[in-house]
Structure 1
Amino acid sequence: MRGIMFGYIRVVDAINHRIGRIAMYGIFILMGILLWSSISKTFFVPSLWTLEMAQFVMVGYYILGGPYSIQLGSNVRMDLLYGEWSTRKKAWFDVFTALLLIFYLCVLLYGAVSSTAYSLGYWGTEPFSFFGGLITGSEEIGRMERASTAWRPYLWPIKAVMVTGLFLMLLQCTSELCKDVLRIKGETI
C-alpha cells in the first residue's frame, strides 16, 4: 500500500506541476488581451470579444493553476494555532480538512460535468451517461449553448476547462491526503 501511495503521489504531482507551470503563462495572455482591449477602445473600434475572452483566460489560469498552488502549499491557511502544532498534529488536521475538500470538489465536479453536458445540448438528468453515449455513438450533440452577449461564443470549451481543472484539483487533494496519511505513519515525503 505504501508503494502505491508513493507512486500515486509522484504521478499526480508531476502532472499538476507541468500543467501548473504552463498555466502560469496564462497571465501574459490575459495581459495581452487587456492591452489590446485598451488600444482598440482608444484608437479603433472597440472589440466585442476582449472582455469575455479575458474572463475565459482568467478562469483557465485560476482553475488550472489551483492544483499546483495546493501542491506548493501556497494556499491561504490560518496560522494562529496551526503554526505551533507538531507535524503529526498538523497531518491529522490536514486529513480532516482534505476529506471535507474532496467531498466539496466531488459536488463541484458533478455540477461542472452537468453544466458541460447542458452546454452541449443535453437536457437529461444523467450527464455521465450522456458523455459515455457520446463515446459509444448512442448520443448526439444537440443545440450548443452560447453566451448571451454580442460576441456569442460557445460555452462548452470553458466548461470543459473547468471540468479538467476540478478533476486535477481532486487528484491533487487526494495526493495531499496520501501525504498526510504517510506523515501520520512517520514516513518522510
Structure 2
Amino acid sequence: MQGLANTYVRVVDRLSGYVGIASMYLIFLMVGILLLDAITRNVIEIPLHWCIEAAQFTLTAYYFTGGAMTIRDNDHARMDLLYEKLSDRGKARLDLVTALCLLFYLGVLMFGAVSSTTYAIQTGETRFSMWNPSMIPIKVLMCACIVLMILQTISEILKDIATLRGISRA
C-alpha cells in the first residue's frame, strides 16, 4: 500500500507542477491581450470588444490552473503565529486538519462547478455582451482544475499521514 501511495503522490505532484508551470505563462497572454486592447483603442482608434473579456477569461484560467501547484508548494496564506513553533509531527497534525477542511470546501466547490457547467452545456450559455462568448470552456476548465486541486489535497493528506507514522515524506 505504501508503494501505491508514493506513486500517487509522485504522479499528482508532478502533474500539478506541469499544470502550474503552464499556467504561469497565461499571465503573459493576458498582458498581451490587454496591450493589444490599449493599442487598438488608443493608437489606431479601433476598439476590439473581445479583449477585456478574453483577458478576464485568461485571468480566471490563470488562478484556477495555478491552484494545485499552490497547494503542492505550500504557497497559500497561513497564520504562522503558532505553526512555526510546532514539531514536524505537530505541523503534520495541523496540516491534516486543514487539508480535511480544504477537501470539504473543494467538494462543495466541485458540486457547484458541476452544476454550473451542466447548466452551461444544456442551455448553451453565453456571456451577455457584445462579443457573446460561450461559457462552457471556462466552466469545464474550472471543473478540471478543481479535480486536480482535490487530487493534490489528497496527496498532501497522504504526506501528512506518512509524517505522523514516522515515514519520510514521499
Task: Give the alignment's TM-score, normalised by structure 1.
Answer: 0.87
What is the percent sequence identity of the aligned residues? Answer: 42
Q: Secondary structure at the match of 1:62?
A: helix
In the TM superposition, what are the counterparts of 1:66-145 in structure 2 within 5 Å?
Answer: 66-121=67-122, 143-145=123-125
2: distance between equivalents of 1:186 and 1:76?
27
Q: Alpha-carbon deviation of 1:106?
A: 0.7
Q: Alpha-carbon deviation of 1:77?
A: 1.0
Aligned to 1:31: 31
1:40 aligned onto 2:40 = yes
- Superposed CA RMSD: 0.9
Q: Secondary structure at the match of 2:5?
A: helix
Aligned residues: 168
Aligned partner (choices 135, 141, 147) of residue 155 of structure 1? 135
Aligned to 1:180: 160
Q: Give the AA of the match of 2:21.
A: R
Q: Secondary structure at the match of 1:13?
A: helix
1: distance between equivalents of 2:119 and 2:149?
22
Structure 1 unaligned segments of length 5 or more: list them: 122-142
2: distance between equivalents of 1:88 and 1:117?
42
Task: Give the alignment's TM-score, normalised by structure 2.
Answer: 0.96
Structure 2 unaligned segments of length 5 or more: list them: none
Q: Alpha-carbon deviation of 1:19?
A: 1.0
Q: Secondary structure at the match of 1:57?
A: helix
**Cα deviation digits, residues 66-104 of structure 1 (max 9, x gap):** 111111111111111101110000100111110110011
Q: Give the AA of the match of 2:94.
A: F
